[in-house]
Structure formats: C-alpha cells, structure tokens
C-alpha cells in the first residue's frame, strides 16, 4: 500500500508502549523484532514508552498507584474495571489526563514523523485518537489489544484497525458496532522465537534440569502477587520431591530474596530461582506446566509453546477475561480458591493424559506467527478518510465512578 508520507522503500512506524505491566512492552518488542525479520516491505519501527515520554513527571505516581491498587485492593480495581467496561464517553479525570499530555505527544509525533502509529498500551491509543479527533494528527492508528478483552479503554473513535488475540474478542468488538474491516484476528504478538520447535529432553539437559522428572514453571511472581502461593509450594515435601520447580521472579529483587530465605530453611536441589530471563521461551519448552497469573502476554507465549497452564488468583478485570477465554479453550484450569494450591498442582502434574489433552488444545488454539500476521494486516491497511468526529462526551462524575 502507499502511505501518506512514506515511500515504497520505507515505512516509518512509531510503536507506543507503556510501563504498567510488562505485557505492553513485550508486545511492542515482538512487533519490532518481527518487522526486522519478516516484513516484505522495509519498515522502520521505533518503540517508545508512552508514559516516559509524554508524562515523565507523572509516570511513577501512576504506576505506583496502579500496582498498589491491584495488589492491596483488587476488589476496587475490579469494580472500576467492570463499571467502565462499556462506557462510551471520557470521565472528567481521564479527559484531563489526556489533555495534560497533548503537547508532549504532538512533539513526539513531530520528532518521529511516523507514517502510522501502533499502540500496545490503551492510554497511548486514547491519547493518539484524541489528537486525531481534534484534527491535530493525520496518520493511521492501529491498536493492539494485549488482553482477551473488549474493555472500552481500548476502543476509540479514530482507531483505524484493531489487532486482537482471538475470534471471541473480534466478535465482541463487532457486537459493539465496530466494522469488521477495522478488526483483524492476528493473535496477541509474541516474539518469533516462541514458535520455534525444540526438543524438550535436549533443552532440559542444556538448562541443567533432570530430563525424566516433571518441570513446573512459575511466572507472575515478580509483582509479589504469587509469593504466598509459591511459599506454600516450597514448604510442601510432596511438591519438592515430585517435580522440578523453576520460579521466575523477574526484576523484583525483594521477592527473590524472600524466596531465597525460604529455601535456606528448606534446601532443595529441585528448585531454581531466576531473575529476569531473556530465554523464557526455552524454559517454556522444558516445562510440563505453567503456574501463572493470567496476563495476556505470558499466557499467549504459553499457548504458542503449547504449554498447559494452572491459573492462580486472577485479579478482577482483564485477568478474569483472559482466564475465561483460556479455560473455555481447554488450555488452562484455574486454581480453586477453597483448595490448597499444592494439592491442585500435584493432581495436574501427575495426570499426564490431562496435560496431553491440554497441550493438544493449545496446539489447535495457537495462531501461527502472530507478530508477522499483525504486520501483514498493518501493511494491507487502507487508511479510511478521516470523518468529522464529534468530541466524545464527558461523563458526569457520578457516571464515571
């Protein structure tokens, strides 16, 4: 296709990510990697953290407030999530937030002069859409929804194309009046390496794991939200004797120290603690089961690897939406609140027939080359003429809350 300012040789794409959770960044990185490896047209991609560039003074406050709400008062977060899921207007607070960043976003667009903007972060998509609605920006806007959700925060009048992870989400968007031509089921973008076939026995040997003992990979603990459940596993003799645990703590050193202290009292050569792991695809190849919070990116990586999942305490909101889609597809089960996590884990790990069935369901569910498919949809996009868009209504404070 011919873009507004680009040429047949070069297309400039600005990818706006965000730092509220790692999934938005990972999706953006996957898109950038795929653009270098496989696009038929030459694409220059630049990944920028929207919060860092547009709200440098507010980003840490916003991130701290969001993470603390999710950790300490998930019920309030869930209430706000569901209360606003079908809103068509902007709350006064959110409208003010977007307008505070308007000048910085315009400077960013002037600096990169993109032919298109891809957003893997909902606040970025809303901000770009607002500039388009006001006639200040005239480039295609593509929104990559990184969870299995149709929450209104992702949906904006000036979005030209939505890239979604499943037909369920696409159907939900169409039901909300979004034209089919503006929705593409690409799969949630994951790095191409997650689709590489690897021999499990060989990978286990290379990673220093016993090839003939079950391996459970534990992720999502970096935020501290899994620490209670992980401690219960480390204190279980049946778990530590019957399987190999690989626990990914991410960049959270406090969680790492806490678990190291726990292991000091219960030493086990079958427990591995990892910090931030760039080769997580290899650990997924080695694993029989993933114990995780149901984040959109982590679970999409697991599906790409056909790795069965045990989902632990999804927070109300998008994690519940993700869990519902994954359980309906038969690739995951959710830990029951009234039963010990150790018992449920042991049952699943020692039921190879059930794990094999879940693996088969994941192989049927996964979408090949999602990041590459996303680029195919982007490069095939025919930018629609920008209609005259009426400003979105501001909701009353009582409606917003």
Q: What pLDDT tens digit does each residue of the chain (401 aa) get?
A: 444 444 456 789 999 999 887 889 999 999 999 998 765 567 899 999 999 999 998 888 988 898 889 888 989 999 999 999 998 777 788 888 899 999 999 999 999 999 999 999 999 999 999 999 999 999 999 999 999 999 999 999 999 999 999 999 999 999 999 999 999 999 999 999 999 999 999 999 999 999 999 999 999 755 555 667 778 888 888 888 889 999 998 777 877 888 888 777 776 678 888 888 889 999 999 999 999 999 999 999 999 999 999 999 898 899 999 999 999 999 999 998 757 888 999 999 999 999 999 999 999 999 999 999 999 999 998 766 655 555 555 543 334 33
Separation in Å, CA 385 to CA 125, 140, 293, 371, 377: 19, 10, 41, 26, 18
Instruction: Give all strands (DSSP E) within 77-224, no chain letters.
Output: 116-119, 141-144, 161-164, 183-185, 215-218
11-187+369-400 and 193-365 share one CATH topology?
yes
Residues 304-333 as b/e (b if ≥16 CB within 10 A, e otherwise) read bbbbbbbbbbbbbbbbbbbbbbbeebebbb
What was the pLDDT predicted at 5?
Answer: 43
What was the pLDDT predicted at 37?
Answer: 79
The pTM is what? Answer: 0.89
Residues β-bridged to residue 184: 163
What was the pLDDT predicted at 306?
Answer: 97
| Matching CATH number, 11-187+369-400, of 3.30.519, 3.40.50, 2.60.40, 2.60.120 | 3.40.50
- Give me 296's structure tokens: 């959109």
- Give me 29's structure tokens: 């990185």
Helix and strand numbers, DSSP H then E, in the chain: 19, 12
Distance (Å, whole) CA 211 – CA 315: 34
What was the pLDDT predicted at 289?
Answer: 97
CATH of domain 193-365: 3.40.50.2000
Q: Which residue has the tokens 């678990």?
A: 259
Distance (Å, whole) CA 127 – CA 107: 13
Domain ranges of the chain: 11-187+369-400, 193-365
What was the pLDDT predicted at 389?
Answer: 53
CB 296 within 8 A of CB 318: yes
């Amino acid at each position: 296709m011919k873009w507004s300012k680009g040429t047949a040789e070069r297309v400039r794409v600005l990818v706006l990510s965000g730092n509220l959770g790692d999934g938005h960044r990972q999706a953006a990185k996957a898109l950038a990697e795929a653009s270098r490896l496989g696009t038929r047209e030459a694409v220059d991609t630049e990944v920028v953290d929207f919060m860092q560039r547009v709200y440098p003074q507010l980003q840490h406050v916003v991130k701290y407030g969001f993470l603390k709400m999710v950790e300490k008062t998930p019920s309030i977060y869930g209430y706000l999530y569901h209360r606003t899921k079908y809103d068509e207007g902007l709350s006064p607070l959110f409208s003010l937030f977007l307008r505070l960043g308007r000048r910085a976003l315009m400077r960013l667009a002037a600096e990169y002069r993109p032919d298109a903007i891809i957003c893997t972060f909902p606040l970025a998509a809303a901000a770009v859409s607002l500039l388009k609605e006001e006639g200040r920006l005239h480039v295609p806007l593509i929104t990559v929804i990184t969870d299995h959700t149709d929450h209104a925060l992702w949906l904006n009048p000036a979005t030209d194309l939505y890239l979604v992870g499943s037909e369920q989400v696409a159907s939900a968007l169409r039901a909300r009046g979004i034209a089919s031509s503006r929705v593409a089921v690409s799969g949630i973008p994951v790095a191409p390496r997650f689709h590489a076939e690897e021999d499990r026995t060989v990978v286990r040997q290379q990673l220093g794991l016993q090839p003939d003992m079950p391996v459970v990979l534990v992720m999502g603990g970096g935020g501290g939200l899994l620490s209670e459940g992980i401690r219960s596993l480390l204190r279980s003799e049946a778990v530590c004797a019957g399987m190999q645990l690989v626990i990914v703590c991410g960049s959270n050193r406090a969680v790492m120290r806490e678990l190291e202290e726990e292991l000091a009292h219960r030493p086990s050569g079958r427990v591995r603690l990892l910090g931030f792991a760039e080769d997580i695809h290899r650990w997924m190849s080695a694993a029989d089961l993933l114990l995780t919070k149901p984040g959109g990116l982590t679970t999409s990586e697991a599906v790409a690897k056909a790795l069965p999942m045990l989902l632990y305490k999804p927070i109300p909101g998008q994690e519940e939406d993700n869990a519902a889609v994954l359980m309906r597809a038969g690739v995951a089960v959710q830990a029951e609140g009234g039963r010990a996590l150790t018992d449920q884990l042991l049952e699943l790990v020692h039921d190879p027939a059930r794990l094999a069935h879940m693996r088969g369901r994941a192989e049927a569910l996964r979408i090949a080359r999602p990041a590459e498919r996303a680029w195919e949809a982007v490069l095939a996009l025919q930018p629609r003429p920008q209609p005259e868009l009426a400003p979105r209504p501001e909701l009353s404070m009582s409606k917003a809350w």
